[in-house]
Amino acid sequence: MARHLITSALPYINGIKHLGNMVGSMLPADVYSRYLRQRGHDVLYICATDEHGTPAELAAKEAGISVAEFCAQAHDAQKAVYDGFELSFDYFGRSSSAQNREITQHFARRLQENGFIEERAIRQVYSPVDGRFLPDRYVEGTCPHCGYDKARGDQCENCTRVLDPTDLIEPRSAISGSTELEVRETKHLFLRQSALQHEVEAWVAEHEEEWPQLASSIARKWLTEGLHDRAITRDLDWGVPVPADTWPELAAEGKVFYVWFDAPIEYIGATKEWADLDPANRDYKAWWYEAEDVRYTQFMAKDNVPFHTVMFPATQLATREPWKKVDYVKAFNWLTYYGGKFSTSQKRGVFTDQALEILPADFWRYFLIANAPESDDSSFTWEHFAATVNKDLGGTLGNFVNRVLTFSRKKFGDEVPAGTAAGAAEARLGEQIAELLAEYEGHMETLQYRKAAAALRALWSAGNAYLDEKAPWLEVKTDLEGAALTLRTAMNLIHLYSVVSEPFIPASARAMRSAFDLADDTAAWVTPEQAKALDAVPAGTPFTVPPVLFARVTEEDLESYRDRFGGSPEA
């Protein structure tokens, strides 16, 4: 059985992330990790805050604290939100760690030894008004390819083309807005990606048929356009320093590695952080170096795909060392807010900390995964959100749990009733549940999230259909033992739902499962064959009725949310 290494795109340190960021990387990675663990696999889910680069420097300056202090505080703030969403990271690290510095410098030395790094004098944008060289992201202007007037100097967000600041039309400082920019000479290290073109093409060709079309098409587009040599150092105070034993002159000038170079290496660095925490943890190289038995799955939104399907694999290949490269890239399109971008400055959209302030995490987890932007961009609207959670969570699952347990307690007391032996209706139900569960498993295995959510919803609906067919509220009047069988069967469905729904809605799954006082309830999963019997909860098991699992989102709630976060039914 393969070991599973799972990573999601590193959230940047500068600010709490919005729902689009959550559904585009971390949440689907968590759902998959939880599912694999339940199926008995050895799983390591790694993520970290991406802490280097100019935005962190500027934010720290604005806050009046050191960059290190700012990043430490911001890391803790982000981690608190992810804990609130119950993201089951095995470790959530920091790219500013000593481990990442060590491994990044090792990578750079290996690239130098193998002839894939060159020191070049370049002319770089300098802003006299700001008194500094401007890194790529802090030069803005019009994209020469698509005409987008807010393109950054490293990449156009609109057409995703990679850019250099000097490519921009009418460039300006993103810090001060000054257009009085100069071009001055400075020395930097370049990764000779052009020399790796054919190797990367061959590597991508081995994997692209397995990858989703979104990931493979983006990788192929970049390769078709050709790989270009790119600077991997910057004139900044914050970052992984260029090692003095290899580049003494650049180290003396305070050069650091550019964030796009060291951030992907942090997947390895964070694993080493995890391994160093506890002697019981496996050595990080067991997951990353000569790790032939590891299957590596990576989750990210489409704007991150080029870095992880082309650029980082190029870096790994160039080390000439057996570092583990990604096997499967699950790429997502964007989640929009009423068709537009989430925006902090314009107060449009819901950010993850705000989401947890107003509703439980399971509401968000279920809605986002059930509407994951897999095949195209998807739009968040409050109307769609309320309709989904009210119908699926409240009306289908929550209502089933409540009416079964409440009615059974009223008629039979606080223990699961016995009733007669299962009959034809229960046999049909068992076959249906087994079939739906197998479908659910198949979609989870292939990372088809919308289809998995639909199969899970169908499992919940099957319980309601069974209850409506048997109508125990009528049955109890003429056939007490038959009604007891119906309720016992329904309670077993609740227990099954608590197990298989856990990857989507972990808190609600715990509440359902804990309703039954089962001393030996150690089942990690229920297979389709096991599900047919519907006998995990025997007669006589004490139970309690949990509080309402999913409170209804009312029209008054929606009005207040639209007022606070923007958007309207007409938007």
Binding-site sequence positions for Zn(2+): 143, 146, 156, 159
Distance, CA of 549 to CA of 362 (rounded, Å): 10
Distance, CA of 550 to CA of 360 (rounded, Å): 9
**Neighbour order of strands in the sheet with 139-142:** 151-152, 139-142, 169-173
Distance, CA of 462 to CA of 531 (rounded, Å): 13
How many helices (H) does the chain have, and how many strands (E)?
23, 16
Distance, CA of 434 to CA of 443 (rounded, Å): 14
Distance, CA of 408 to CA of 492 (rounded, Å): 13
List Cβ neighbours of 488 (8 Å cut-off, separation of 6 or more).
416, 417, 418, 419, 537, 539
What are 92's strand-pairing partners? 47
Which residue ranges make up the annotated binding site for ATP? 344
Distance, CA of 154 to CA of 131 (rounded, Å): 20
Nearest residue to 126 (alpha-carbon basis) of 180, 85, 51: 180
Which residue ranges make up the annotated binding site? 143, 146, 156, 159, 344
Distance, CA of 245 to CA of 108 (rounded, Å): 12
Amino acid identity of 136?
D
Q: Which two tokens stand for residue 300?
A: 């990210």
What are 298's strand-pairing partners? 7, 329
